[in-house]
Homo-oligomer: A and B are copies of this chain.
């Protein structure tokens, strides 16, 4: 995830210019259509945006999922078919948007960030733009990977509520899939935090720990940046839920969604705070260790430096050093030094240096 967007590519361009801005290197373009009533479900892959026009006037519920934003010509064509405002098109292909909800006369435009794990170890973020019309939901994603695997399975079954209800429930189910996936991410981060916690409380330096802590905190900063506006967006959805689009009962589901977003924010904050505590604890543990090392060095030095000085004295070559001739000189010095060492040992003991 990049720290700051690449918006600047378009600094100075006319507003409404449809220029693809994003990090994804997917160059393809796919249109996946699910058209269903409770009784029957049709799944098609299209290549021509113009073919989408036919679904706009039917009574069936339709989910049109577009993968790939680099083909701006196709996107613009689709925009004309669906009657989208130039600024909406610009926002769809510029993947540095903030999650937001815009009411237009003919449609509602929603931008979300889809976050998922690639190979259980790398966090990927992808912009998901949605156009909600009365019977049609159009989604735009940057590359084919997404979080809708389970949703597609549920669509196959005639018994799931998604097949029984209208387009508002499909929209809810899509947003719900995105939001539910944040839980998975947080759980994955939570496990990593617990690993780091074990390492830090064991006071055992582990190579790369500092880098791991930093990466997790950066991920959490990113997630918070993404989830805060998502929460606002869901709150707006819930409030504006009175319109024709939303059926009465779906509002309970929107409330559920808002609870989830609050829960996710709570968890992000808790994880951030716990990581901050861990860093404090870690710094205090390092300082403690340093203290111990220094005490050890000081004890060794304080005992042996004076002793070395004493043996140095009797290593001098003066002619007239009477002690050198004494019979008890050598054992006397040895005993004196031993006594000195013992005294210093107990001095440190008394001052509780070890």
Q: Which residues on A are within 8 Å of B, measured CB to CB?
A: 2-8, 10-16, 85, 87, 91, 96-98, 100, 102, 147, 149-151, 154, 160-162, 172-173, 176-177, 180-181, 183-184, 186-187, 189-190, 193-194, 201, 203-205, 210-211, 213-214, 217-218, 221-222, 225, 229, 252-253, 255-256, 259-260, 262-263, 266-267, 269-271, 273-274, 277-291, 293-298, 300-302, 304-309, 311-321, 323-327, 329-330, 333-334, 352-353
Contact = CB atoms under 8 A, between A and B. Distances in A.
Contact of A290 (B11, B204, B287, B319): B287
A97 B286 CA distance: 38
A15 B309 contact: no
A273 to B, nearest CB: 5
Contacts of A214: 201, 277-278, 281
Given A293-B291, A313-B311, A314-B318, A221 B274 contact: yes
- The copy count of this chain in the complex is 5
A259 B233 CA distance: 13
Given A297-B298, A311-B312, A319-B325, 16 more contacts: A3-B270, A4-B267, A15-B173, A16-B161, A98-B262, A213-B281, A221-B270, A287-B287, A304-B306, A307-B309, A312-B312, A314-B318, A315-B316, A318-B329, A318-B333, A320-B330
Nearest to A149: B12
A46 to B, nearest CB: 25
The interface residues of chain A, by DSSP majority, are classed as: helix
Which has the most chain B C-beta neighbours within 10 Å: A15, A295, A314?
A: A15
A149 to B, nearest CB: 6
A79 to B, nearest CB: 15
Contacts of A309: 304, 307-308, 311
